[in-house]
Structure 1
Amino acid sequence: MLAMMKTFFRNIHLYLSLASGLVIALVCFTGGVLVFEKELEQAWHPERYFVTASSQQRLPLEQLVQAVKAEIPQAKVTGVKVYADPLRTVEVSLAGSAPMGERKSEGQRPKQPEKGGKPGAKGEQRGGEGGRGPQYFVNPYTGAVVGKLNYRDSFFFTMMALHRGMVGGAAGKLIVGVSTLFFLFIIGTGIVLWWPATRKVVKQRLTIKWGASWKRLNHDLHLVLGFYSSLFLFVFAFTGLAWSFEWFNKGIYTVTGSEMKNPEPPKSQVLPGGKAIGLDAAYAAARSQAGDAAFFAIQLPKDSAESIRVNLLRPNAAHETAGDELYLDQYSGQVLGKLAFEDRNLGQRVRRTFRPIHVGSIFGTPSKIIALIVCFLGTTFPVTGVIIWLNRLKKAKKKRNTVLTAQ
C-alpha cells in the first residue's frame, strides 16, 4: 500500500513537473533577478538617484517641476516623490504614471495587454508597475534634471513581464498562473517523496554526498536542496498567485471577512474661481502631519473635486508597502483625512503584505539574500529532476533488456 502511494505521488510530481518545468524555471530565474532590482538599478545609475552633499538650500518643488517642463514643454506632471534623505534626488512623475511610492491597489484587476502590445494601466493606481510613465530625477539643490527612466523600456520591466507572463498577453499570464499552481503540488508531493521511511535515512536525505558519482550527486542536489528550499518556494509561489488570479485575491478578502473595495477618498471643497495650492504647500502640509516619514509621494488630483493624495512611509512601518495615505483639500491644503496602514481592514493589510513576502524584502537584506538563493535553486530543480527521470528510464530499459536476454 505504501509503495502504491509513493508511486502515485511520484507520478503526480513527475507529470506536473514535465508540464510546467520550463515555465517554473523561467519564473524562478526572473524572480531571482528582480529580488535586488532597486539596489541594482541604483548601482547602475547612481546619478539618477543620488546627489553629492550640499550646503545649499533645497529649491521649491515648483521650481524643480518647471525644470522638467523646460525639457518637455507638453509634459503633464501627475506627482512628485520627495525623500527625507538629503542625498536623494526628487522624482517627478509624468502623465500615465504613479508617484513611485504607490503600488497596485488590493483587489484591483490589471488590464490585460493589447494583443501584441504591452500591459495597460486600467485598474491600477494611475499606472502601477507595468504602467509607469516617464520619471524624471531632479537635483533638489541645483534644479538640474539628472536622469530619466521609462520603466517600460528598462531591463527590469522585461524581467517583470517574463516573470508574470505578460509578454504572452492573457494566455501568458494564465500559463504562469497555472504553472504556479502546479508548482505548489510539485513541492507538496516532493516533500512526501523526500520523507524518509526510517531514521537511518534522515541523514542521507539532509546531506549532499559530494564525492559520489555524478548521478548520485545530481540526485542529492535535487532532493536535499529541494527539501531545504521547499518552504520558501512554497511561500513565494503561493503569494505569487495574487498576481495571476482574481479569484485568489477575492479569496483573501473572503477568508478574512473583509471588504475588497478600498475606502473612497474624501473630496475637496470646490470653490467658484478657487485656485489650487501648489506642490510646496501640499508638501509642507504633509510634513506637518508626519515630518519623520522616509518619503512623501504627492499625487496631484485628476479633476477639480479630487483631493491631493500623499503616500508616506513612516520609519517604524512594518514593511515597504505598509505606508499611510494622507488626503489634502486641493484648494485650502486642509487635511481631509488619513488612512494609516493599521486602519485598513485585515484583508487589505494581508494583501499589501504579499508583495514584500513575495520579493523577499519582508525582513530586509537577509530575507532578500535567502530569496535570491532559493529562486536560483528553483531554476535548477527542473533540470536535475529531468536528469533523474531520464536515468530511471535508462535503468528501466536496461533492466527490461536484461530480462529479455535471460529469456
Structure 2
Amino acid sequence: MEKPTILKEKKPSVPQPKPSWLRRFNDWFHLWIGIAVGIPVIIISLTGCILVFEHEIVEMSRSWWQVEIPAQTAQLPPSAIQSKVLEQLPEMKIRRLWYYGEGKPVKISPDNSDSLIFANPYNGKVLALEDHEDIFEFIDEGHRNLWFPPEIGKQVVGWSTAIFLVLTITGIVLWLPKNWKLRELKQAFSIKWKAKFKRLNYDLHNVLGFYSLSIAVLMALTGLMMSFRFVNSSVLKMLGAKDRSSEVSVIGPGPKVVPATIEGKVDLTWKLVTTQMGEFNKEEISIHFPKEDGKSIYACTDMHNGTWRELNFDINTLALLSTSHTKIADDTAANWVRRSNFSLHVGAFGGLFTKWLFFFASLICGTLPITGFVIWWGKRKKKNKFKK
C-alpha cells in the first residue's frame, strides 16, 4: 500500500522592507551621477597612471641621460655652464639651470625659447635640445584640462573630481555587507575569478573599488587642492596656516666675503646650498640667475620623494630671506602639506613602492565607470526581459 503524499505548505514570503529615502537617493546618485562623470573620470584616471611614472619613463627613453663622471673632476658652477652653452647656442637667454645630480645632465630652460637644453655638467657640452611640448605635455593637458581650453577644462576636471569624491562615499554605502556572516564578508573582500562574466564584473567593481578607496580619496583631495584655491586655503587653514607676510626680512646671515659680480654670487650660492644647506639629495639643485631688476637669487634643494625646499638669498649680501622654506623637519603641518601636495597626489612620498600603489589605484579608478556601466546595463536588460 502506497504512503500518502504529504504536501508541505509553502511559507508565506516575508515582504522586504522598503529602503529609506536616503538609501534610495544614495543608489540614484551613485548610478546616474556616476554615469554622467564617467568619461572625465576615465580620462583623468588613465592619464594619471602614466604621469605617475613620467620621470622614470623619460629617463629610460634618453640614451644620453647617464653622463660619464671624469676622474677627479667636479661639476662646473652655473656661470661656467652658462658661458659654455652660450658658446654653442649664442642666441639663447640662459637664466634657469637644474642640476640633476652626479652622473646626470643639467637642464636649462631658456627665457626666449620653448626648447629645453641638456648639457654635460662636467664640460658644458650640449647633449640634447628638446621641445618642451612632448607627449607627456599632451597627457598632462588631458589630465588637467581634458584637452579643453584651461579656463573651461580646469573647471570640468575640478568638479568631476569633487563628484568622484562623493561617489566614493556612496560606493562604500553600497559595498557594506547586509550582514557580517563569513559568506557575506568573503564576497565583499574577495574576487571570484572563476565566476561568470556578470559576477566577475560585479566583483571587479565592488571589491577593487573598496581596496583602492583610501588612495582614491587622497588623490581626489589633493587634486581638488590643485583645482580650487578655496579648497587649498581651507585645508591649509584647518591645519593652522597663517597668512604670509608681504614684508621680506633677513632670517639668516650671509657669507663673510661676497663676490662683486652676479655670476660670482650665483656660483657661491650654488656652492653653499650643495655643500652646507641641502639635507636630502644635495647634488640636485635648481638655481636661477636673477632678472635685471631682481632683488634675490633663487635656489631649490632637498628635492626628495616629490617634495622640495625653496631658498631665496639677498642679491647684495646673500643672506637668507624670510620668503625661504624652513627645513622639512622643522616645518609646520600646513607648510608640509603645501609643499607635499603634489607628492601626495602622485604617490612619490614613499618612493617606487607608493608610486606603484598609486598607479594601480588610479588604474582601478579608471575602470570603475566601465564596470559600473556594465552592471547597470545588465540590470536594465533583465528588467526589460521581465516586462516582455
Moved more, 31-40 or 228-237: 228-237
Partners of 1:191 and 1:166 lie apart in 2 by 27
Tell me what 1:371 maps to.
Answer: 358
1:320 is the counterpart of 2:306: yes
Moved more, 142-151 or 221-230: 142-151
The structure 2 residue matched to 1:189, chosen from 154, 161, 170, is 170
CA contact (8 A) 1:56 1:141 kept: no
Partners of 1:19 and 1:73 lie apart in 2 by 53
Secondary structure of 1:209's counterpart equals coil
Tell me what 1:75 maps to.
Answer: 92
- Structure 2 regions of 5+ residues with no counterpart? 1-16, 255-259
Sequence identity, in percent?
31
Partners of 2:291 and 2:248 lie apart in 1 by 13
Pairing 1:1-40 to 2, within 5 Å after superposition: 3-4=19-20, 5-40=22-57
After superposition, the Cα gap between the structure-2 partners of 1:223 and 1:305, relative to the gap in structure 1 and judged at 3 Å, is closer
After superposition, the Cα gap between the structure-2 partners of 1:383 and 1:368, relative to the gap in structure 1 and judged at 3 Å, is same
Pairing 1:162-241 to 2, within 5 Å after superposition: 162-165=142-145, 167-169=147-149, 170-200=151-181, 201-241=184-224
Partner amino acid, structure 2, of 1:209 = K
After superposition, the Cα gap between the structure-2 partners of 1:190 and 1:280, relative to the gap in structure 1 and judged at 3 Å, is same
1:276 is the counterpart of 2:265: no
After superposition, the Cα gap between the structure-2 partners of 1:146 and 1:204, relative to the gap in structure 1 and judged at 3 Å, is same
Partners of 2:165 and 2:137 lie apart in 1 by 26
Moved more, 244-253 or 57-66: 57-66
Partners of 1:294 and 1:86 lie apart in 2 by 7
Deviation at 1:365, TM superposition (A): 0.7
Partners of 1:309 and 1:266 lie apart in 2 by 15
Q: Deviations over 1:264-321 (max 9, x none)?
A: 5558x9xxxx64243323322333532652422112222345111211117xx6x431
Tell me what 2:10 maps to.
Answer: none
After superposition, the Cα gap between the structure-2 partners of 1:353 and 1:291, relative to the gap in structure 1 and judged at 3 Å, is closer
CA contact (8 A) 1:294 1:313 kept: no
Partner amino acid, structure 1, of 2:382 = K
Partners of 2:371 and 2:321 lie apart in 1 by 58
Deviation at 1:43, TM superposition (A): 0.4
After superposition, the Cα gap between the structure-2 partners of 1:225 and 1:75, relative to the gap in structure 1 and judged at 3 Å, is same
CA contact (8 A) 1:297 1:310 kept: yes
Partners of 1:291 and 1:246 lie apart in 2 by 30
Secondary structure of 2:37's counterpart equals helix
Provide the alpha-carbon RMSD of the alignment: 2.6
Q: Deviations over 1:365-407 (max 9, x none)?
A: 1100011111111111111111110111111111222xxxxxx
Pairing 1:5-404 to 2, within 5 Å after superposition: 5-47=22-64, 49-55=65-71, 57-58=73-74, 59-83=76-100, 85-95=101-111, 133-151=114-132, 153-165=133-145, 167-169=147-149, 170-200=151-181, 201-261=184-244, 265=248, 275-278=261-264, 279-290=266-277, 293-313=282-302, 319-321=305-307, 323-335=308-320, 339-342=325-328, 345-401=332-388
Partners of 1:250 and 1:243 lie apart in 2 by 11
After superposition, the Cα gap between the structure-2 partners of 1:87 and 1:358, relative to the gap in structure 1 and judged at 3 Å, is same
CA contact (8 A) 2:92 2:112 kept: no
Q: Deviations over 1:6-25 (max 9, x none)?
A: 33211110011111000000
Q: Deviations over 1:76-109 (max 9, x none)?
A: 22222234x4211122222179xxxxxxxxxxxx
CA contact (8 A) 1:285 1:333 kept: no
Tell me what 1:102 maps to.
Answer: none
After superposition, the Cα gap between the structure-2 partners of 1:335 and 1:388, relative to the gap in structure 1 and judged at 3 Å, is closer
| Number of corresponding residues | 355
Secondary structure of 1:362's counterpart equals helix
- Structure 1 regions of 5+ residues with no counterpart? 98-132, 402-407
Deviation at 1:333, TM superposition (A): 4.1
Secondary structure of 1:77's counterpart equals coil
After superposition, the Cα gap between the structure-2 partners of 1:308 and 1:2, relative to the gap in structure 1 and judged at 3 Å, is farther
Partners of 1:2 and 1:234 lie apart in 2 by 31
Partner amino acid, structure 2, of 1:365 = L
CA contact (8 A) 2:118 2:129 kept: yes
Partners of 1:396 and 1:175 lie apart in 2 by 34
After superposition, the Cα gap between the structure-2 partners of 1:263 and 1:341, relative to the gap in structure 1 and judged at 3 Å, is farther
Deviation at 1:69, TM superposition (A): 1.8
After superposition, the Cα gap between the structure-2 partners of 1:209 and 1:339, relative to the gap in structure 1 and judged at 3 Å, is closer
Partner amino acid, structure 1, of 2:211 = Y
Partners of 1:2 and 1:232 lie apart in 2 by 34
